[in-house]
Amino acid sequence: MVPSTVDALAAERSKAQFDIAEMNRFIVDEKTRVKTAKIERILAAEPEMFNLRNVYFMSRKEKLDHALKIGVRLIELMREGKLTSEEVSYADFILDINGPFGLHRAMFIPTLQSQATPEQQELFLKPALNYEILGCYAQTEIGHGSNVQGLETTCTYIPETDEFDVHTPNIRACKWWVGSLGISATHAMVMAQLIVNGKSHGPSPIVVPIRSTVDHTPMSGVTVGDIGPKFGFNTMDNGFLMLDHVRVPRVNLMQRYISVSREGKVSRPSNVDPKVTYGTMMLVRAEIARNMCSVLARATTIALRYTSVRRQFAGISDKPLTSKTESPVLDYSMVQYRLIPLLAQNYAMFGVAQVYSELYEECMREMDRGNFGLLKELHATTCGLKRWTSDVTIRGIDTCRHVCGGHGFSQFSGLNEFFGNAYPNIIWEGDNYVLSQQTSRFLITQIRNLRKGKPVADNQTTQYLQKHLVDGRLAQVPQPAFVGRSIESLVADPEVQLDLLSYRAAIMASELVDQMDEHGQSWNRSLVDMQRLCDAHSDYIVALYFRCHIATLPRSSPLLPVLNKIAALLFLYILEQHSSDLFRLPGRAAFTNAQVNRIEKMLANFIEEVREQAIPLVDAFGMSDLRLNSALGRSDGRVYEDYLQWAMEDPLNTDDTGKAIRKEWFEKYYKPVMHSAETSKKAAKL
């Protein structure tokens, strides 16, 4: 007798060797837990409004309409005092509906807060906070993405009228991708090259009214619209904007960090806060790195629950098909190998999010005190973590979809609409490949400084470079701590694990600097090495932060056994994935074939062990059914019943809409094809 999917999931759950709620409290910080619970309560109270079940059936237009409806309701809830602005943004994240008011909150208002003078705040920020004007942040141009300095839109001071002339000089300068611009915004914060008296002063933000607040028609000289359908994110009205010598008053230029006087004198305050340049970039990337853990958790929850109830073949033994009861696909080692290390990475990411947040707060506090020593290292690490977490997440969602087989391809898996929405995280805020240069550049600079005997700031990165290198160079001594140790003893000792992971990054960095400085390898030719270096550094940081997070538990915690297993598994997985790096370590540090074989065997053992706790472990992520929006990942295991039911709800199938559609198609297409053949055949017979 084949157990039902409901019973199979319950059986998995009953295997828990730890308290699921306790684990949830450990891995998700209190603030997030409270916020999530509050929002989900409010959403659940209005199931008609916040229904996500129909999203998979919607056209682009219907999605935008749905997002607008939800967006307006959330603003109402805010006005009623039931949600804060921050909670509204988090509700968007939970619903995975990035609506047309999103960038007003995420970019337009923050820019006004940080770059407007008090007078300008009165003029723009106040109505923005009241949603009397709707804003967007227009930086990217169709021909210019990452390179802000290369933007071509101009704003030229016209002393005669005390105005700026904001202009799109050619098609490459057409603003593009700007969120909330396509349909919604009445005002755009335009990044434009500031030109005063014929002299260029670099890109500066300036407020340009683009649509009437009275009837929403475009202002004179403004060409604006939606950039069209995308791979995901279709609830957002990303837009384009071309300005034909549009005039705005001088006060519209954000004047906190640069100001233009009535006479056309340009001045900058001398005490520009470095937080403005590094800080805001870092803030957004930090947010991505911190969010990815719960994005990935959505996918791992669905995939692990589904593969533990999905059965295919009776193939666990050497003789497939001898038994009649098929095996859960999660019992196949190949499925485990694809999902369990991903689960370990996901656990690590939750730890990283918490430890990183503390470091970030500390760095901000230090900067407020005038100490910028942590800033550059944290910036480099943030770039690496943004890349690491978003890469793992996007590849991970794809793995989760694929491991669900055909059903992963259905929208009702919950993994596809969601994949499209999550995908831009590897592109925006610094494409992951470009971003690797930021991290590597920092490591390279530190090594060059060490080699020149220059002083370096004291931080996690310079610590390991100094530990493993002598004056920035490879040396016979000190011998790293892992040399001569068995894999078993490595697995038992977190300190030595970190020693190995940081040694790998230090050697890679040192060898890259050798290539560049001693063998003339150009920067461009070094880009492939740089991304490997960035990943090696990030592997170490992830392992380090994860261990730091686990170390906050009391030694008697019942959560420790499984968490230590997960951390060891992650360590072995990093080694196994990069075994080539291990063979290439210098001198006695180089791994042997036997050691790498041992790593693979031990990894397989750990995977088998952690698989046993897989369902309790994903339950501990605390992903609600609302958020999963998936037939395959349902917490009650009613997979196929719900999947079929959901299909029945398709507008093509239902009695109210489907019947008419199908009748129309029958008359228009099927009948002519089928009956014309018959008719012509009958005619031929006569």
Q: Which stretch binds a second copy (CB under 8 A): 20-28, 291-299, 343-351, 407-415?
A: 407-415
Asked if residues 307 and 407 have their Cβ atoms less than 8 Å apart, the reply is: no
**Which one, 435 or 450, has the nearer CB to a second copy?**
435
Number of residues that bind a second copy (CB under 8 A): 133
Asked if residues 482 and 499 have their Cβ atoms less than 8 Å apart, the reply is: yes
Residues in region 310-369 near a second copy by CB under 8 A: 310-313, 315-318, 320-321, 326, 331-335, 337-338
In the complex, minimum distance from the CB of residue 56 to a second copy, in angstroms, rounded to a whole number = 5
Structure tokens at 487: 């894999």
**Which one, 45 or 644, has the nearer CB to a second copy?**
644
Q: Please tell me which residue in 429, 511, 518, 609 is annotated as part of the active site.
A: 429
Q: Which stretch binds a second copy (CB under 8 A): 29-37, 190-198, 221-229, 546-554?
A: 221-229
Asked if residues 100 and 64 have their Cβ atoms less than 8 Å apart, the reply is: yes
Binding residue for a second copy, selected from 123, 142, 364, 626, defined by CB under 8 A = 142
β-bridge partners, 191: 205
H or E stretch at 335 = helix 333-368
Asked if residues 384 and 442 have their Cβ atoms less than 8 Å apart, the reply is: no
In the complex, minimum distance from the CB of residue 410 to a second copy, in angstroms, rounded to a whole number = 6
Structure tokens at 434: 């470009």
Q: How many of the other CB atoms lie within 10 Å of CB of 476? A: 9
Asked if residues 113 and 189 have their Cβ atoms less than 8 Å apart, the reply is: no
- Give the 3-state DSSP-derived string for 67-81, with helices as H, strands as E and coil as C: HHHHHHHHHHHHHCC
Nearest-angstrom CA–CA distance, 452 and 177? 44
Residues in region 507-566 near a second copy by CB under 8 A: 522-528, 530-531
In the complex, minimum distance from the CB of residue 375 to a second copy, in angstroms, rounded to a whole number = 21
In the complex, minimum distance from the CB of residue 8 to a second copy, in angstroms, rounded to a whole number = 12
Max distance between CA atoms of the chain, in angstroms, equals 102
Long-range CB contacts for residues 587-594, cutoff 8 Å, separation at least 24: 587/476, 588/479, 588/483, 588/484, 589/479, 589/480, 589/482, 589/483, 589/503, 589/507
Residue 239 Cα distances to 184, 223, 229, angstroms: 9, 10, 11
Nearest-angstrom CA–CA distance, 136 and 184? 9
Residue 178 Cα distances to 181, 237, 578, 592, angstroms: 6, 8, 39, 52
**Which one, 59 or 552, has the nearer CB to a second copy?**
59
Residues 6+ apart with CB under 8 A from 415: 299, 302, 303, 397, 400, 401, 404, 408, 630, 632
Binding residue for a second copy, selected from 52, 64, 246, 450, defined by CB under 8 A = 64
Binding residue positions for FAD: 140, 179
Residues in region 593-632 near a second copy by CB under 8 A: 593, 596, 604
Nearest-angstrom CA–CA distance, 669 and 615? 48
Residues in region 143-202 near a second copy by CB under 8 A: 143-147, 149-150, 171-172, 174, 176-177, 182-184, 186
Q: Which stretch binds a second copy (CB under 8 A): 70-78, 88-96, 371-379, 559-567?
A: 70-78
In the complex, minimum distance from the CB of residue 188 to a second copy, in angstroms, rounded to a whole number = 15
In the complex, minimum distance from the CB of residue 390 to a second copy, in angstroms, rounded to a whole number = 11
Query: Residue 219 — left, alpha, or beta (φ > 0 → left; ψ -120 to 50 → alpha)?
Result: beta
Residues in region 574-593 near a second copy by CB under 8 A: 579-580, 583-584, 590, 593
Q: Which stretch binds a second copy (CB under 8 A): 42-50, 132-140, 361-369, 443-451?
A: 132-140
Residues in region 245-304 near a second copy by CB under 8 A: none
**Which one, 368 or 666, has the nearer CB to a second copy?**
666
**Which one, 411 or 445, has the nearer CB to a second copy?**
411
Nearest-angstrom CA–CA distance, 97 and 200? 40
Asked if residues 111 and 283 have their Cβ atoms less than 8 Å apart, the reply is: no
Binding residue for a second copy, selected from 11, 35, 57, 364, defined by CB under 8 A = 57
In the complex, minimum distance from the CB of residue 89 to a second copy, in angstroms, rounded to a whole number = 16
Asked if residues 100 and 68 have their Cβ atoms less than 8 Å apart, the reply is: yes
**Which one, 264 or 315, has the nearer CB to a second copy?**
315
Task: Please tell me what DSSP assigns to residue 378.
Answer: H
476 binds a second copy (CB under 8 A): no
Q: Which stretch binds a second copy (CB under 8 A): 22-30, 64-72, 375-383, 446-454?
A: 64-72
Which of 147, 139, 148 has the alpha carbon at shortest distance from 238?
Answer: 139
Identity of the amino acid at 180: S
Binding residue for a second copy, selected from 68, 483, 560, 626, defined by CB under 8 A = 68
In the complex, minimum distance from the CB of residue 650 to a second copy, in angstroms, rounded to a whole number = 5
Q: How many of the other CB atoms lie within 10 Å of CB of 30? A: 8
Is residue 141 annotated as part of the catalytic site, yes or no?
A: no
Question: Residue for token digits 């760095």?
Answer: 363
Residues in region 77-106 near a second copy by CB under 8 A: none
**Which one, 276 or 674, has the nearer CB to a second copy?**
674
Long-range CB contacts for residues 275-283, cutoff 8 Å, separation at least 24: 275/364, 275/367, 276/114, 276/115, 278/375, 278/376, 278/379, 279/364, 279/367, 280/110, 280/114, 281/379, 281/429, 281/430, 282/360, 282/378, 282/379, 282/382
In the complex, minimum distance from the CB of residue 475 to a second copy, in angstroms, rounded to a whole number = 18
**Which one, 300 or 354, has the nearer CB to a second copy?**
300
Residue 642-681 contact track with a second copy, rule CB under 8 A, x = bound: -xx-xxx-xxxx----x--xxx-xx-xxxxxxx--xx--x
Identity of the amino acid at 439: T
Residues in region 385-404 near a second copy by CB under 8 A: 398, 401-402
β-pairing verdict for 163-167 and 246-249: antiparallel
**Which one, 337 or 372, has the nearer CB to a second copy?**
337
Q: What's the chain's length in residues?
A: 686
Structure tokens at 372: 């910028």
Binding residue positions: 140, 179
Binding residue for a second copy, selected from 81, 118, 370, 406, defined by CB under 8 A = 406
In the complex, minimum distance from the CB of residue 313 to a second copy, in angstroms, rounded to a whole number = 5
Nearest-angstrom CA–CA distance, 351 and 204? 38
Q: Which stretch binds a second copy (CB under 8 A): 71-79, 280-288, 295-303, 351-359?
A: 71-79
Binding residue for a second copy, selected from 416, 466, 557, 635, defined by CB under 8 A = 416
β-bridge partners, 260: 266
CB contact burial 258-275 (16+ within 10 A = b; e otherwise): bebeeeeeeeeeeeeeeb
Binding residue for a second copy, selected from 411, 445, 557, 564, defined by CB under 8 A = 411
Residues in region 6-35 near a second copy by CB under 8 A: none
Nearest-angstrom CA–CA distance, 423 and 112? 29
Binding residue for a second copy, selected from 42, 49, 75, 266, defined by CB under 8 A = 75
**Which one, 149 or 271, has the nearer CB to a second copy?**
149
Nearest-angstrom CA–CA distance, 315 and 329? 9
**Which one, 301 or 432, has the nearer CB to a second copy?**
432
In the complex, minimum distance from the CB of residue 119 to a second copy, in angstroms, rounded to a whole number = 19
Binding residue for a second copy, selected from 111, 115, 120, 140, defined by CB under 8 A = 140
* Residues labelled as active-site residues: 429
